[in-house]
Chains A and B, each alone.
Chain A
Amino acid sequence: MAISFPSTDYFEALKGKMTAQQEKFRRLGFIDTTFGVKVGNNGKARNFVLEFEVFDLKNVREVDAIDLKKVDFMIEGDARVWREMIENIHRNGEADSSHDLNTLAHFGEQLKIVYDDPDGHDKLYRFMESIQKFFDLSSQVEVSFS
């Protein structure tokens, strides 16, 4: 059954896949970061906080608003951009170079990285391979878009 994006179920599904592919993520190394995902839609937004620890997504929760002081960074974007990214991942098995997180967020024009502390911001790049591979797991999940 398709899982709706955005939702905690979607991130929980990725979490399950991540656990199942532990060896792959172990090879990429520790990932210790907590970040926010904000999906905007017609002036409204849904917000999620993802807490990664060691090799796992420890916890994901939906929140009303993301407190930038409590996360390392937040990835913010319109639902259309997120959808395009996930559909691209589905088609290719992983994001192509026009649809990976770094490219989409590079100049903040499609996805935007928002942060309070630049040390937190740099964690996105320190753990980029793991974070990208985490989102690439979307290729193994049936996703529907509301």
Chain B
Amino acid sequence: MAFYADKDYTTDQTVFEAVNQVMSGNLTLFWYDAKTEKVKGKPTDLRRGLTYKDLDLGSYGYSSIPENLRTSQSMVARGSEKWGNLPDMGYVVNRKSEIWADNVTYLYEEDKSRRWTPAVDVPWSDLDAHPIAAPIEAACSQLYTFLQECALVSMDFAARWVPLVNQDFIEQKSWMCAQMFNWARLNEAFRKRALCGGAGLGRASVSGEQGLKEWLWADSYPKGSLSINLSLGGIVLAICRHVAAFAPSKVDRVLMGYAMQDSARQTAYGSGQLRYYLTHRPAEMSAMQEYVDDSEHVMLALLGSPELIEPLIIISGGGLQKDQVQAGRAAVAKFLRLAISEYFERLEAAGLAASRTRSRIAPVVERISAAA
């Protein structure tokens, strides 16, 4: 895999000569009149600072990125002058429609602006002051074990694609780095929460992990993004909202408050990407719908995982007593309907209008929810 320089530069006379010339004061200044656009960007709103949107100017702007990038395969910053022998970096995502979303630059700015720090922003010691009943704590530790699996896969997904995305999509790549960091932070928060209650970690989920790997290893970015950003992001968002609503402790409520913000951004990007893709590549609609049909069983693998559903029942009902489980079941049934309904809403709004009617998982989830 290694890439080596084309020669030994420490014995190359042309290097010595070039250096000697410059260091003797004979500057070439060949770069001085670079054939690039002269701009002076300014913040349009001082409260917001200087955003990427403020720099959407002429040849530098993201608005002018063409659909097909045929002449950029190196590390050159978009808008600067290319010259000489530039390396081919082997990018495989070179079409704007395959990666872009209209909200991506905003989401990147929002992400930085709404950053938080799990170590200090969650009142961890509150769990010492107000310990939780053992069955609920065990359920929490299992739930947060499951969420770590989701976070790890989401982090790997962004990381896996970043080096394959053309450098001209600089705002997009920056957003993907922010996603990696987001999921690292959530993984950290979930791990800390699972351990600090005293119950240790729980058990990994076979169905969950099998499903996650199928989504993670999707064979194109648009498909993987739909699965990881829109679908998985949506599930995690729904779990965060649910646990925040039934939070057994202040720690859980605060943590899930931050986590829902982060996961909602992932979902927003996932919806935005799918919408952009289908708008610009309508011919791909049927292939994408087919992919959804084939891979939506993963929704069941995740939502029906005993490592998720059972702790959710206990947390929602407040314990393991019969009446508590009864209440927990009812709440989880509503949660399932909510998660599935919002999943279809997002698909439909992004352009996959037939998803709900042709879905084979919708009736299954409805039957299961109704059983409660």
Contact = CB atoms under 8 A, between A and B. Distances in A.
* A adjacent to B, CB under 8 Å: yes
Contacts of B258: 129
B223 interface: no
A117 interface: yes
Nearest to B109: A30
Contact of B271 (A30, A118, A132): A118
Contacts of B235: none
Interface string B197-241: 000000000000000000000000000000000000000010011
A108 to B, nearest CB: 9
B264 A106 contact: no
A102 B260 contact: yes
A54 B268 contact: no
Contacts of B268: 119, 122-123, 126
A5 to B, nearest CB: 24
B277 to A, nearest CB: 15
Given A32-B110, A125-B237, 9 more contacts: A29-B114, A29-B115, A30-B109, A106-B242, A118-B345, A122-B237, A122-B271, A126-B264, A129-B261
B110 A29 contact: yes
A103 B45 contact: no
Interface in B110-134: 110, 113-115
A28 interface: yes
Q: How large is the interface on A (under 10, 10 to 19, 20 to 34, 35 or more residues)?
A: 20 to 34
Nearest to B51: A30
A126 B261 contact: yes
Contact of B260 (A56, A107, A128): A128
A56 B245 CA distance: 26
A126 B47 CA distance: 19
A106 B245 contact: yes
A125 B113 contact: no
B86 interface: no
Contact of A54 (B47, B106, B240, B338): B47
A126 B257 contact: no
Contact of B114 (A30, A54, A119, A121): A30
Contact of A128 (B110, B261, B338): B261
B338 A125 contact: no
Contact of A126 (B110, B244, B272, B342): B110
A126 B245 CA distance: 16
A125 B253 contact: no
B272 A119 contact: yes
B245 A102 contact: yes
18 contacts: A30-B110, A30-B114, A55-B47, A56-B47, A97-B245, A97-B247, A100-B253, A102-B241, A102-B257, A106-B245, A118-B345, A119-B349, A122-B267, A126-B114, A126-B261, A126-B265, A127-B261, A129-B257
Interface of B: 45, 47-48, 103, 106, 109-110, 113-115, 237, 240-242, 244-245, 247, 250, 253, 257-258, 260-261, 263-265, 267-268, 271-272, 331, 334, 338, 342, 345-346, 349
Contacts of B106: 32
Contact of A125 (B47, B109, B264, B346): B264
A29 B261 CA distance: 11
A122 B264 contact: yes
A110 to B, nearest CB: 11
**7 closest residue pairs by CB, A with B:** A29-B114, A29-B113, A125-B264, A106-B245, A103-B245, A126-B264, A30-B113
Contact of A106 (B113, B241, B267, B272): B241
A32 B245 CA distance: 24
B56 to A, nearest CB: 17
A107 to B, nearest CB: 5
Interface in A20-60: 28-30, 32, 54-56
Contacts of B346: 118
Which of B250, B258, B264 is most buried by chain A, counting CB atoms within 10 A of its CB?
B264
B244 A103 contact: yes
